[in-house]
Amino acid sequence: MDFTIPDELRAFRETVRAFVDKELIPHEDYVEEYDGLPEEVEREIRRKAVAVGLNGLGMPDEVGGAGLDVLGQVLVTEELFRALGGVAEVVPATPRILLACVGEQRERYLLPCVRGDRQWCFALTEPDTGSDAAGIKTRAELCDGQWVINGRKRFISHGDSADFAIVFAVTHPDRERDRITAFLVDKGTPGFGVGQLHKTMGHRGYRQAELLFDDCAVPAENVLGEPGRGFDIAQGGLSAGRIMTAARCLGPMGRLIGDGVDWAKQRVQFGRPIADYQAIQFMLADCATDLHAARLLTYHAAWAADHGEPPKVVNAKASMAKLFASEALGRVADRVLQIFGGTGYMNETYVERAYRNARIERIWEGTSEIQRVIIASNLLKRGMFS
């Protein structure tokens, strides 16, 4: 078994680390205070991110992406998310689903996203359907050559600011399969509006919105992929998405542990640094073990994807990585906050912010329970997958 990370990936990781320290982390206090960055600052971050090759990490060369394999994307994502999500998310990321763009769609949607010039949002979740995503109710009906969308989406990240939405709607309600179609809907299309903006527990600057569709007509050219195949193309990027969610958890874990160690060495109580107390050492040891195990699961899932293991096996490994890393992050944030004592409860510390941010990782991209359903179903059908 070879655990060596290729030299070129190590070098790129160093570049990303320097970028995060210089261009992202200094904006964290502002984002926490004002729940976002000024548009011109976001533009500047995107410009600099593109200059160091951070745009479209998993996108192929021919569309202007970095062309990284999954392991490469994991290493870069881990570094990027050492910064708080509300800042790290400003770096342009293009969802794999946009690779389904054809003809003029490539010029209007895919390429500008890879360049960081246009922002998108992914609109699947609805008030009545979250985990059971195939049960969505938003409808699109073909009338005089146009698709007319009616329905409501909620919890849509960047929904208020995105230039266009990738919207999932039922187009073939009578079918058992192939019922759902994906649409590209531009901001400003009549009948497409933004409803409630949600206030959230963490991730300041990373806003969620309700999206409303009221007789919103889009031309047939705005169908992404084949009519009826929307759910399949959404599912296509699922494993990679879950591996990246696991990777997003590694960055904060590493930073939390670094902060915890520094604090334990310098905080003196009863005449000694608290790092001298075994209670503190054990918490740090458990944190380091959690991070190491989460890294191994995540890097291995990425390696499995890159080495062409069967999709079902990659899916199960991606679910294990996402499940473990997201839960490990919660444990690490909790222990490090304990090590900081009351100081860790104060908003000016990274640990307080990371603790709040950590909670969502067990919910989005499939809750912990859904990951366990996937892992158990694979185990019961195929046995243990090594």
- Enumerate residues 6+ apart whose C-beta is below 8 A from 51: none
- Comparison of 59 and 124: residue with beta carbon closer to ligand FAD: 124
User: How many CB atoms lie under 10 A from the CB of residue 21?
Assistant: 13
Binding to ligand FAD by residue 9, rule CB under 6 A?
no
| 157 forms part of the interface with ligand FAD (CB under 6 A) | yes
Cβ proximity to ligand FAD: between 72 and 241 the closer is 241
Using rule CB under 6 A, residue 73 touches ligand FAD: no
Query: Which of 18, 131, 143, 266 forms a contact with ligand FAD (CB under 6 A)?
Result: 131
The residue assigned the tokens 């096996």 is 313
Strand duo 208-219 + 192-198: pairing:
antiparallel
Q: Which is nearer to ligand FAD, 16 or 136 (CB)?
A: 136
Asked if 208 interacts with ligand FAD (CB under 6 A), we say: yes
Chain centroid to CA 162: 16
Binding segment (CB under 6 A) for ligand FAD, from list 184-192, 257-265, 327-335, 364-372: 364-372
Nearer to ligand FAD, 181 or 208 (CB): 208
Q: How far is the CB of 158 from ligand FAD (least distance, A)?
A: 7
**Interaction of residue 124 with ligand FAD, rule CB under 6 A:** yes
Site for ligand FAD (CB under 6 A): which residue of 105, 200, 235, 349?
Answer: 200
**Residue 11 token pair:** 């070098």
Instruction: Indicate whether 363 belongs to the interface with ligand FAD (CB under 6 A).
Output: yes
Query: Shortest gap between Cβ of 363 and ligand FAD (angstroms)?
Result: 5
The answer to whether residue 130 forms part of the interface with ligand FAD (CB under 6 A) is: yes
Least gap, CB of 275 to ligand FAD (angstroms): 35
Strand partners, 161: none
Nearest to 244 by CA among 109, 81, 53, 42: 81
CA 181 to chain centre: 23
Q: Which is nearer to ligand FAD, 118 or 335 (CB)?
A: 118
Among 66, 302, 360, 374, binds ligand FAD (CB under 6 A): 360
CB-based contact 175:4 (threshold 8 Å): no
Run of H or E residues at 34: helix 28-34
Of these residues, 33, 141, 365, 369, which one is catalytic? 365
Nearer to ligand FAD, 30 or 364 (CB): 364
CA distance to 23, 88, 249, per residue, from 42 (Å): 11, 10, 23
Q: Which stretch binds ligand FAD (CB under 6 A): 77-85, 266-274, 325-333, 366-374?
A: 366-374
Q: Are 37 and 30 in contact (CB under 8 A)?
A: yes
Which structure tokens are listed for 364? 């989005």
Q: Does 364 bind ligand FAD (CB under 6 A)?
A: yes
Q: Report, in Å, the least distance between residue 192 CB and ligand FAD.
A: 16
Q: Is 107 a catalytic residue?
A: no
Q: What is the Cβ-side half-sphere exposure of residue 26, based on CA atoms within 13 angstroms? A: 7
Of 33 and 369, the one with the shorter C-beta distance to ligand FAD is 369
Contact between 373 and ligand FAD per CB under 6 A: yes
Is residue 369 within 8 A of residue 322, CB to CB? The reply is: no
Structure-block tokens of residue 359: 């909670």
Q: Which tokens hold the place of 95?
A: 């969802």
- Out of 19, 155, 164, 183, the only residue in the binding site for ligand FAD (CB under 6 A) is 155
According to DSSP, the residues that pair with 170 across neighbouring strands are 139, 180
Classify residue 312 as exposed, middle or buried by CB count within 10 Å of its CB (0-12, 13-18, 19+): middle
The verdict on 171 binding ligand FAD (CB under 6 A) reads no
Q: Which stretch binds ligand FAD (CB under 6 A): 39-47, 121-129, 144-152, 378-386?
A: 121-129
Beta bridge partners of 139: 150, 170
Least Å from the CB of residue 217 to ligand FAD: 22
For ligand FAD, which residue of 369, 376, 379, 382 counts as binding (CB under 6 A)? 369
- For residues 166 and 233, give the distance between their C-alpha atoms in angstroms, rounded to a whole number: 11
Burial class (CB in 10 A: 0-12, 13-18, 19+), 55: buried
Q: What is d(CA 77, CA 280) in angstroms, rounded to the nearest whole number?
A: 29
Q: Annotated catalytic sites, by residue? A: 365
Where do contacts with ligand FAD occur on this chain (CB under 6 A)?
121-125, 130-131, 155-157, 200, 208, 360, 363-364, 367, 369-370, 373
